[in-house]
Amino acid sequence: MALIDSYRNSKISKQRELASLNSEKAKEFVKLSDLNKKINSASESIKRTKIVSTVNSKMKEIERYNKNIADTNKKIADIESKIAKKEKEIFDYQTKIEKEQSNLDKKRNAEAEKITKDQERSLRNINSTLYLHDKLHRNTLNEIKELKNIPEKITVLFLASNPIDQVQLRLDEEARSISDMIRKAKLRDSVKLESCWALQPMDLLQALNDFNPTIVHFSGHGSNEDEIVFQAQDGTAKLVSKEAIVQTMMASSENIRLVFFNTCYSRNQAEAVSQFVDATIGMNTSIGDEAARVFSSQFYSSIGFGHSVGKAFQQAKALLMMEGIKEENTPELFIKYGMNSNEIILVKP
């Protein structure tokens, strides 16, 4: 078990113990209330009687109740001392968790920098090989001819929906990670990231018309009924069917070359939309927050280095495996009939 998981488990255990102590304290306060009621009742009895024996009996009861109150107050004080100690233990574990998380983040950043350097080294080796072989040289000339049709700059449209009545996703972290990886890419000036948050159905066509994107990226929830979860005006979930998404992409596909569904159960949407755009990516089952973030950010990093869609897809899967995230088989790539994923290049080298 990772150290941070051990700290989290210990914190949860201490929180349960704290809850138990607070419950015990509440019960003691109930006892105090009952004892005070009994004292008041005995006092009223004394006022109503003139029988000496009855008065003496009630006085003894009051004395006994006061002793019980003193004992109960002592017990409450002891419980409060334990509560204070438990709260300090919880605070200490939270401090350890935050420190360990910081160490893990630094380690991941270092690994990401290393991967970027490895990719640059690999690209240099490939270019060197191209110049050494005549056949590859001819292929390069053909590729250059194709690249003339690639725009100088592409736009990635990040569409996010995180309704208030659904499990909250870390979409802001995904967007930040994608932005960071694009910024680190060799051809970063050729890729522009635009975003549209709290996506409502009316926003989709508006955003497509406003930004005229090359890549459309959906991030959020999906259903196992081939629907994407948008937001209604009150912030709650609004389901949009696969057919509606396909119709929208068909009506807007003139400049769109890739649609990325980074949502659960989106395989069928991706396959259907691939009839109208060069490439699509969808998920064949549910996908975790971390897997979605790592896969998408590495995919756009590779695109930003001028790699083909096919190579970017494989590199993104490779990073999931290197990170130990066992979801590398969840993303699926679909290519328009008659096209080759390794020949689809979105950013001009």
Model confidence over 35-88: pLDDT tens digits?
A: 899 889 888 888 888 788 888 888 888 888 889 999 989 999 999 999 999 899
Across 138-159, average pLDDT: 72
Q: Are 45 and 54 spatial neighbours (Cβ–Cβ below 8 Å)?
A: yes
Question: How is domain 133-343 classified at the CATH fold level?
Answer: Rossmann fold (3.40.50)
pLDDT (0 to 100) of residue 88: 93
- Rounded Cα distance between 3 and 56, Å, is 65
Across 304-314, average pLDDT: 96
In the predicted structure, residue 271 carries a pLDDT above the cut 90: yes
pLDDT (0 to 100) of residue 50: 79
In the predicted structure, residue 146 carries a pLDDT above the cut 60: no
In the predicted structure, residue 149 carries a pLDDT above the cut 70: no
Residues constituting the chain: 349
The domain spans of the chain are: 3-105, 133-343
Across 171-178, average pLDDT: 94
- Rounded Cα distance between 170 and 288, Å, is 10
- Rounded Cα distance between 97 and 14, Å, is 14
- Of 79-83, 306-310, 345-349, where does mean pLDDT reach its minimum? 345-349
pTM of the prediction?
A: 0.58
In the predicted structure, residue 158 carries a pLDDT above the cut 70: yes
Strands (E), the chain: 154-161, 191-196, 215-220, 222-223, 227-231, 237-241, 258-262, 279-283, 331-335
3-9: long-range contacts at Cβ-Cβ below 8 A with a sequence spacing of 24 or more? Answer: 3/100, 4/97, 4/100, 4/101, 4/104, 7/93, 7/96, 7/97, 7/100, 8/93, 8/97
Q: Are 336 and 278 spatial neighbours (Cβ–Cβ below 8 Å)?
A: yes
pLDDT (0 to 100) of residue 142: 59
Across 248-266, average pLDDT: 92
Q: Are 214 and 257 spatial neighbours (Cβ–Cβ below 8 Å)?
A: yes
What is each CA distance from 339 to 109, 255, 309, in whole angstroms? 36, 16, 11
User: Please, is 149 exposed, middle or buried when counting C-beta atoms within 10 Å of its C-beta (0-12, 13-18, 19+)?
Assistant: exposed
Burial 86-123 (b: 16+ CB within 10 A, else e): beebbeebeebbeebeeeeeeeeeeebeebbeebeeee
Portion of the chain with pLDDT greater than 70, in percent: 95
- Rounded Cα distance between 301 and 119, Å, is 10
Burial 186-211 (b: 16+ CB within 10 A, else e): bbeebbebebbeebbeebbeebbeeb
DSSP reduced 3-state for 156: strand
Portion of the chain with pLDDT greater than 90, in percent: 73
Task: Provide the pLDDT confidence category of residue 30 given band limits of 50, 70 and 90.
Answer: very high
Mean pLDDT of the chain: 91
In the predicted structure, residue 327 carries a pLDDT above the cut 60: yes
- Rounded Cα distance between 130 and 306, Å, is 16
pLDDT (0 to 100) of residue 278: 96
CA 12 to chain centre: 22
Across 213-229, average pLDDT: 94
- Rounded Cα distance between 66 and 73, Å, is 10
In the predicted structure, residue 332 carries a pLDDT above the cut 60: yes
Q: Are 287 and 264 spatial neighbours (Cβ–Cβ below 8 Å)?
A: yes
Q: Are 164 and 235 spatial neighbours (Cβ–Cβ below 8 Å)?
A: yes
DSSP reduced 3-state for 196: strand
User: Please, is 296 exposed, middle or buried when counting C-beta atoms within 10 Å of its C-beta (0-12, 13-18, 19+)?
Assistant: buried
- Of 176-180, 252-256, 277-281, 302-306, where does mean pLDDT reach its minimum? 252-256
- Rounded Cα distance between 243 and 230, Å, is 15
